[in-house]
Amino acid sequence: MKVLTPSETTQNISLIPRFAPSGTITIDTYNEFTKATTSQTVIYAIDGGVLNAVFDLECSEMDRFTFSLSDSNGVFYRCKALATTQELDKIQLTKNKYKYA
C-alpha cells in the first residue's frame, strides 16, 4: 500500500516494478469513494531497479485509491493507496478493510 499526501496535488511514489518499463508510462487511478477513474502520463526515473514516479492527483483526507501503472507491454504494477496526514505507524491494513488506531 502506498500513502499519498492530501495537501499536495503532485504525488511521488517509489516502487519496484515486475519488469522494467519502456517508453511512456500511464497511471490509471480509481477513487474507491467517488468511483471516479482517471488516466494520465507519468514522469518517471529508474535508479537501481527502483522506479520513482511523479503524477498529479487531487485527493482528500482518507480517500482510498486503486491504481495501476502500465507501458506498451501492459500493466507492470498494481497497488492500493491511502491519502492521509496521519502518522504511518497508527494505520493498519487488515483483510479487506482499513483499520485506524
Burial of 66 (0-12, 13-18, 19+ CB in 10 A): middle
Q: What is the Cα–Cα distance from 44 to 52, expressed in whole angstroms?
A: 5
Report the amino acid identity of residue 1: M
**CATH level 3 topology of 2-100:** Immunoglobulin-like (2.60.40)
| Rg, Å, the chain Cα set | 14
Residue whose cell numbers read 499526501: 5
At residue 15, the pLDDT reads 92
pLDDT means per 10 residues in the chain (101 residues)? 86 89 94 93 93 92 92 92 78 58 49
CB 5 within 8 A of CB 12: no
At residue 91, the pLDDT reads 62
